[in-house]
Structure 1
Amino acid sequence: MDGWLQTASLAGAGLLAGAMNALAGGGTFVAFPALIASGVAPTVANATSNAALLPGAAASAYTLRRHLTPFGPLPMRAMVALTLAGGAAGAWLLHLTSETAFRAIVPWLLLFASLALTFGNHVRRALERSEFRLHAGPAAVVQFVLGIYGGYFGGAVGLLMMATWVLISELPVQRLAPTRTLLLACANAAACVLFAALGLIAWGRAAPLAAGGVIGGILGARLGLKLPAVWVRRVTLAITYATTAVFFWRS
């Protein structure tokens, strides 16, 4: 692929991925295969995707900063600290995973993320109807585990956060969305620092992806209040399942 065409393709993928992350999650399903198509190894593509989407996630979090709402038995600082620690642990776990093993794992991670996007809202509503609630200790463990997944791969982690948070908070989903955006950025940031230290990021490919991701993150955060949720969901699911099918076929 010519250099300018590759740059344009990655920037376009970043734009779409940043918007998807701000609207419903699933940006990994665009950024990760775009990097694979550009010729990098899966583990490097995963780390580079994380780094490239971080500015977009940070832009979305900054756009929604005035809407952050404390919730549950844990203060916001504790949620941030747990997510940062989990993100770093997930990044280290990826570093320990061999390229061969990660190639075999990726289709299943994509399938898991696709199912989470599909049924996460159903799980959340079922949990809402239950009277079970997590106290501070179990809630901290759950958030740390979500941070690990966010640092290791991260597909649909935002939706998983929203689904589990109903066990610690009675706030409506709309008021939890800005916090989800902030903690997604925290998991990405912690993982990115470790990925950079380990030399797992292809910076030349990350730059155009990140530029598109920033614009997409800002637009997605603003459009999220206007676009019909059903259409956002349908497009997101179509992209996720198509990507998952391609990776299973390639494996």
Structure 2
Amino acid sequence: KLEGFLQISDQDLKLDDEISCGGFGVVYLAQWLSRHDIVAVKRLHLNRLNPQAEKEFFKELLVMNGIRYPNIVTLYGACVEKEKYAIVMEYMSLGSLYKILHQNKLSLDWCDRLSIALQAAKGINYLHQLEQPMLHRDIKSLNFLLERSHEGYIVKVCDFGLAKTRNETTRQTQLTHAFAGTLQWSAPEILLLEKHTEKSDIYSLGVVYWELATNEIPYSGHQNTVIREFVISGNRLKIPDATPSRFSALINECWAHNANDRPTCSHVIEEIQECIN
């Protein structure tokens, strides 16, 4: 029932260290035994899927499986055994942008920061430009993974394309809050429970760019209710004066209150290229 998709048996995966844990699942560093390869395995917080939800899961996996792009994490396959649902993908050794900025506190020069910003935008733009455009719906620094390259960093988007399965996970784990852990990156229209659009993704990207500029966690130490009121009222985080003016202006455009005033991802790429040049 899963044509053109690699089903990987649970026994073919040897889970090692836990890399991260989110509302949607736990990510492990793992060995893909039959391929003698190191991979990342996301074990979903799902016990069982009803036939409809399982169909959605497979459908979403098939879409993700068809995506191959330098700035998007490659999906190798999935384990679809009951109570063992897992997604197998390429391993990015530096982990998330969140980890690099806020835990490892890696010092990045502006050349690196702009390169990271550009690659992040390219990954999201690829999803937005698909024949059937795909919204990411959960853009945050935790969902951009990094790897060193000979001249800097390679950035790839992860955790896209599983919107319906994510909703099912939320339902099964009784997460009463749809924004568990992601509210800081959510656009005002999302906080008002309105429709998610490409421009909602752009808002979230703007917050990630603010993180790149400041090395700080957005709204650190503030409660969700306070953040929600702050954002809905049209307030935004302060962009440091030392930020290159063009990049600073781009952040402001990305998190404009009115979604129509935000740029397209394609425009974001052009602006960052201008900053770099």
Same fold (TM over 0.5): no
Q: Which has the higher contact order (CA 8 A, sep 6+)?
A: 1
Q: Which structure shows the bigger proportion of residues in helix conformation?
A: 1
- Give the greater-gyration-radius structure (CA): 2
Q: Which structure shows the bigger proportion of residues in strand conformation?
A: 2
